[in-house]
Amino acid sequence: MNSFFKYYFKAFAKPKESFSRLLQNPRYFKLGFLFMLVPIAGYTLMYIFLTIANGAPSVLTPWLNIEKDDYYAINRFLLAPSMLLCWVAAASFIQIVGRLQHSNGTYEQTLSVLALAISIAMCFSLLHDLPMSFFSAIGVIDARQHEIDMNSPGIWRTLLWFFYSLYGIAFLILFPLAVKVVHGFNTIKSIVTGWLAFILFQLLFLLFNR
């Protein structure tokens, strides 16, 4: 666990160095799964809290054919497999591009470094989503009204966009760095590949977790 925390917290300040050092650890592949457990546990807990609070999407209609009143309850079980799918899909895309460019980076390396990047970036959205869902579960705020407030002009929408802007910026920085560390691309290729991988990751994530 010391290795986990060492790489995890260092990635907030010096992500490229943390990514590089991670690959020097013989347990890097196992650590990748531990990194992914952070957002999986956080968002599963969020859906548990929202289910307790009797929450439901109020403005955005889920893309999946699930009733709004049942959406959060069902997503308690969909979150983990959907996030693993997003992770594997983004890593697969990067690895295919790497092979086309004759990179020596392995699929396991791509998965592991990308897991750390995803985990760090999603911390910023969890800073908003997890406390709000918890306060809904204990009755401090009304979950359904809060859904409406987050999509209306005001402080709640401002807070939402602040944390989700950090989320997006983090992904746009960390994915290209992950590509560069694992596959050794130049800056332009790393940015293009990383951003395309992020788009794929985000579209799949929104499909299951809108």
pLDDT tens for 124-174 read 999 999 999 999 999 898 888 888 888 788 898 899 899 999 999 999 999
Does pLDDT of 2 surpass 80?
no
Domain range list for the chain:
16-208
pTM over 0.75: yes
Q: Which amino acid is at 30?
A: K
Q: For residue 21, give Cα distances in angstroms to 4, 38, 112, 182.
A: 12, 20, 12, 11
